[in-house]
Amino acid sequence: MMRRVIAFFAFAAVSALACAQITTYKAPVTGSVPRTFNFDSDQPWINPTTGKVDIATMQFAGVTKSSDQLSEVPSCESDLSSHICRFQENSPSGDWVTRVRLFHAEPPTAGSHRTQLNSYAIAPYKRYILDLEFKLDDAWNTTMPNGKGTLWQLKDFVKPCQQGNPVLGINLYGDQLRFDISYPYNASVAQQWPTPVCWGGDQKQHPNDPVYVPFTPSTKTITPGQYHRVQLVFYADDTPKNDYITSGKGLITAYFDGEPWFEYVGPTLQPDSASPHQIGWGWYQWDGDPTETRTIYYRKHRLYEWK
């Protein structure tokens, strides 16, 4: 019965986005400035209402630029040297896209090889719809030995005793797209809530601290040069669901290219975090050095709050 309810809930949401609204609120880390979560390239990156860039940071080539260092994202139809830029596709639809590029042999940025954009914090305990459409470059080599990485993630800043894995991650393994969920074991079996938790360290010394939730959605094959669309209906909640605690409302129903992908019931935020969660997208290569240039095109990136 639960699966039927979730499936209906998600189908109604994804097939009727008119019921949802682009998320706009005053993020906890920014004070009174309203932030939107519409990063489609057909919209100005500078919010016309506030005159501010809604992106919190951009990270590339060993540097991190904060919002006060950012301006309108440049056009790059013929510029091959830009890390992050936007242009209008030469196609019948003429869609605007954002191009994200990690170049060969670049230095690490924030400890890893990445060209990544990060949003301001999202509010917890709300229902969201993520609508994400992306394409790997035609020249993307899916067989290279190193090169697994993250296309999209929901992540917080962790405490020193925690590992920094994203709680939700859309990851690429060769040509296989996989959804990974990270949640600490000792929080999943907590008998009281809220409760402080710590996890991480050497997995061999701490066998009760696994990183990934043991759920196995089917992988999806990605074709370079072809757009793919991921839609998530999720409730942002850090509360576990177990024999002692039943108050958690976390859930995810996912669609891939318009077809059902998987359903998950459980936490969708990390507990006892050092900061609110935020979205990151681009190419975050956590497997080896970039031996080839990686280019991703994002045609759609919107976060809706379903009210």
- Residue 89: strand pairing partners: none
Compute the 3-state secondary structure of the chain and give helix, strand, coil in percent, each to the nearest 5.
5, 40, 55
Question: Is residue 190 over pLDDT 60?
Answer: yes
Residue 6 backbone dihedrals phi, psi, to 5 degrees: -65, -45
The helix or strand, by DSSP H or E, that contains position 119, with its residue range, turns out to be strand 113-121
Task: Give dist(CA 98, CA 108) in Å, integer.
Answer: 22
Distances (CA, A) of 292 to 77, 259, 281, 289: 21, 32, 19, 9
Tokens of 140: 């993307």
> What whole-number distance in Å separates Cα of residue 280 and Cα of residue 234?
16
What's the confidence (pLDDT) of residue 273?
87
Give CA–CA dist 207/184, Å, rounded: 11
Number of neighbours of residue 304 by Cβ within 10 angstroms: 20
Are 121 and 280 in contact by the 8 Å Cβ rule? The answer is: no
Residues 6+ apart with CB under 8 A from 274: 156, 157, 158, 159, 162
Domain 2-306 has CATH 3.50.50.60: no
Residue 51 has pLDDT above 80, yes or no: yes
Residues 6+ apart with CB under 8 A from 43: none
Q: What is the per-residue pLDDT for 35?
A: 83
**Mean pLDDT, rounded, for 15-38:** 71
Q: Where are the domains of the chain?
A: 2-306
Quick one: pLDDT at residue 74? 66
Q: Over the stretch 128-166, which tens digit does the pLDDT of each residue have?
A: 999 999 999 999 999 987 889 999 999 998 888 777 789
Confidence band for 62, pLDDT divided at 50, 70 and 90:
very high
Annotate 158-185 with b (16+ C-beta within 10 A) or e (fewer): bbeebeebbbbbbbbeebebebbbbbbb
pLDDT greater than 80 at residue 27:
no
Cβ 97 vs Cβ 298: under 8 Å: yes
For residue 196, give the nearest of 184, 207, 210 by alpha carbon.
184
Q: Is the bond preceding 194 in cis, omega lying within 30 degrees of 0? A: yes
229/134 Cα distance (integer angstroms) = 7
Q: What is the pLDDT of residue 8?
A: 44
Query: pLDDT digits over 275-289, tens only?
Result: 899 999 999 998 888
